[in-house]
Amino acid sequence: MSDFTSNFWSIYVAAITVVSIVACLVLLWLSGKAKVMASSDNTTGHVWDGDLREMNNPLPRWWAWLFVITVIFALIYLALYPGLGTYGGKFGWSSTGQHQAEVDKGNADVAPLYAKFMVMKPEDVAKDPQAMAIGERLFMNTCAPCHGSDARGNKGIPNLTDNDWLGGGTPDIIKADIIKGRRAQMPPMAAAVGTADDVKNVANYVLSLSGSPHDSLRASLGKPKFVVCAACHGPDGKGNQTIGSANLTDDIWLHGYGEAAIIAMVNNGKINQMPAQGDKFTPEQIHVLASYVWGLSNKGPAAAK
């Protein structure tokens, strides 16, 4: 990896650029000095199609000077803008800086609009059609690639419309998750549960908690072993939002449904991570986006509580 973190390649590219420009000038100069043996009629002796002859005329002076001007332009450009390795140019321009300037200008233009929403409670923002239209665009640009355009998620990615929140679904918690991200982990628990047969019994007991199809005999045998899982999921299996443990009684399965999926979770554990998104938004945008996400699972009468 040291080859990619050293400044060798920057120097290499800069050297190739300068040498190429100088080589073009040298080639132009040598071409102007070269003498071609010509016949008395000022032709080179090359003939095509029977009567098309190549004349031995020099390049037009305007063409040669145009070539020189382009080389001078290239040298001026490289002095003012980045192009020579790590040299940033006299103007200090960068695509990142230009992008940030445009983003800052856009944020300044819409600041008065966001200011109106910032003094509103998230529950009220979620009822404002204009705010929700803005929140939807923010969601589509950043959140939809994982959670889907309908926000219903996928296997391993939470559904944001069902009001089932592992870590809590209040507007403040949603804001914190957007800003800082979230990392959840269930460690492998097979060794603590017991044998492979014990794990299968526990899986059936977990299925029974939500009324899902299961083997009742195995479920009864797995209940005593569930005490290992109860440390996080609680003795009733309803989970604990403080530590982000899942509610096993609501028949909502983030990582897959059925005996085999639960056995895999017990045997292998699972790590899930939502990356932090705080640097992509202004505080005002986060307020509107969190209100939009909250509103997805709190529509109708539920939103009034």
Same fold, 112-181+275-304 and 185-273: yes
What is the per-residue DSSP string for the chain? -HHHHSSHHHHHHHHHHHHHHHHHHHHHHHHHH------TTSEEEEEETTTEEEE-PPPPHHHHHHHHHHHHHHHHHHHHSS-BTTB--TT---HHHHHHHHHHHHHHHHHHHHHHHHTS-HHHHTT-HHHHHHHHHHHHHHTHHHH-TTS--BTTB--TTS---SS--SHHHHHHHHHH-EEEEE---HHHH-SHHHHHHHHHHHHHHTT-S--HHHHHHHTGGGHHHHHHH-TTS--BTTTTBPPTTS---SS--SHHHHHHHHHH-EEEEE---GGGS-HHHHHHHHHHHHHHTS-GGGGG-
- Backbone conformation region of residue 194, classed left if phi is above 0, alpha if psi is from -120 to 50, else beta: left
Alpha-carbon distance of 29 to 37, in angstroms, equals 18
CA distances from 200 to 33, 110, 130, 221, 257 (A): 88, 56, 51, 10, 14
- Backbone conformation region of residue 296, classed left if phi is above 0, alpha if psi is from -120 to 50, else beta: alpha
CB contact at 8 A, 238 and 246: no
The domain spans of the chain are 1-36+55-93, 112-181+275-304, 185-273
| CATH number given to 185-273 | 1.10.760.10
Query: What pLDDT does 304 receive?
Result: 37
Q: Which residues are registered as beta bridge partners of 274? A: 182
**Domain 112-181+275-304 is classified in which CATH homologous superfamily?**
Cytochrome c-like domain (1.10.760.10)
Spell out the residues 6+ positions from residue 164 whose beta carbon is closer than 8 angstroms to its own.
158, 247, 250, 252
Query: What pLDDT does 299 receive?
Result: 76
Residue-level pLDDT, tens digit, the chain, 305 residues: 455 567 888 888 888 988 998 898 888 888 777 666 666 777 777 888 877 888 777 778 888 888 889 999 999 999 999 888 888 889 989 988 999 899 889 888 888 889 999 999 999 999 999 999 999 999 999 999 999 999 999 999 999 999 899 999 999 999 999 999 999 899 999 999 999 999 999 999 999 999 999 999 999 999 999 999 999 999 999 999 989 999 999 989 999 989 999 999 999 999 999 999 999 899 999 999 999 999 999 975 444 33
Place of tokens 């109860």: 230
